[in-house]
Amino acid sequence: MAVKKKYPALGRGLSALIDTEDEIITAGSSSIHEVAIEKIKANPNQPRHEFDKTALFELGKSIQEFGIIQPITLRQMEDGYYQIISGERRWRASQQVGLTKIPAYIRTADDENMMEMALVENIQRQDLNPIEIALAYQKLIDQYNLTQDQLSDKVGKSRTAIANFIRLLKLPAPVQLALQDHSIDQGHARALLALKDPTLQNELLKEIKKQGYSVRQVEEMVKLLNAGEVVKSGKTRLKKPSASLPDEYNALKMRLSQFFKTKVQMTCSTAGRGRITIPFNSEEELVSIIGLFDKMKE
């Protein structure tokens, strides 16, 4: 069973070494060993896939100055090598500065516990971006045939939170990449999920990055698009693809366009719900349209 150990806030150099958030120290691993770096392998199930080069360089410089303050955690493999449970950043930075040995806790863990511990350790330190977390959750569910409720118990997150992360994997690849490189945040991504058309999701993504829209602004734009409205963003006009109307509805739309002397828009769902939009380009056109409504009352 994992025992969480907290450390007080330290200066920039030391905090880079020990990641001042919660660090997983596994039960039964109280003794520290010096392990040859060449005998250590990365965990292939490590949820984090991106390691900032600048941050690793700074960590390496700190290690050169102070040494390794917080041991990494390993498990011994049958081939005599060791696999990382937590502390891959420290291991990578130590390699870069030429260390040959690194202090480590050693424990035994099966593959499922390895993935679980690596995931929990990274989430606790908030090292993963949302897509990496979503992929890690999905891998645990698929590989070990878990339900979202079971996964919730294992990683200490609510089922709703897990479901919200996994939903992000339904987004088009450009949106997922933007979330990974922090071009947008998770709020933007959740708003884009409400649009079911991938092409429109990608178009709105471009406008978010170009115009710097807030999450609230994107939510409002999505509402308008889902209602069949045309949304103008800079020089771009965004429009939800409309389903083809039955012939009788198209005939009605043409009659309304002729009557109001403007291009009337009409949408209609399979359930019979729809919207009629009467656009105008000037105050004079609006007055003319209102006048036509007034005549219908007579």
pLDDT tens per residue across span 170-187: 998 889 989 988 899 999
Let me know: does 238 contact 200? Beta carbons within 8 Å.
Answer: yes
Q: 259-280 burial, b if ≥16 CB within 10 A, otherwise e?
A: ebebebbbbbeeeeeeeeebee
CATH of domain 109-169: 1.10.10.2830
Q: What is the pLDDT of residues 216-266, one digit of tens each?
A: 999 999 999 888 788 999 888 888 776 667 778 888 888 888 888 888 888
Q: Report whether pLDDT(94) > 60.
A: yes
Using alpha carbons, list the distances in angstroms from residue 131 to 48, 50, 83, 111, 276. 10, 11, 24, 22, 39
Percent of the chain topping pLDDT 90:
27
Of the candidates 39, 90, 51, the residue with the CA atom closest to the CA atom of residue 68: 90
Q: What is the pLDDT of residues 159-172, one digit of tens each?
A: 999 999 999 999 98
3-state helix, strand, coil in the chain (%, to 5): 50, 15, 30
CATH fold of 32-107 reads: 3.90.1530
Q: What is the pLDDT of residues 7-40, one digit of tens each?
A: 333 333 333 333 433 344 444 444 678 899 999 9
Q: Which residues are catalytic?
A: 88
What backbone phi and psi angles, to 5 degrees, belong to 85?
Answer: -95, -50
Report the distance separating Cα 270 and Cα 175, nearest Å.
29
Let me know: does 298 contact 291? Beta carbons within 8 Å.
Answer: no
**This prediction's pTM:** 0.52
pLDDT score of 298: 63
Hey, what are 204's tokens? 């709105």
Rg for the chain (alpha carbons), in Å? 28
Report the distance separating Cα 114 and Cα 109, nearest Å.
6
Report the distance separating Cα 243 and Cα 103, nearest Å.
63
pLDDT score of 191: 96
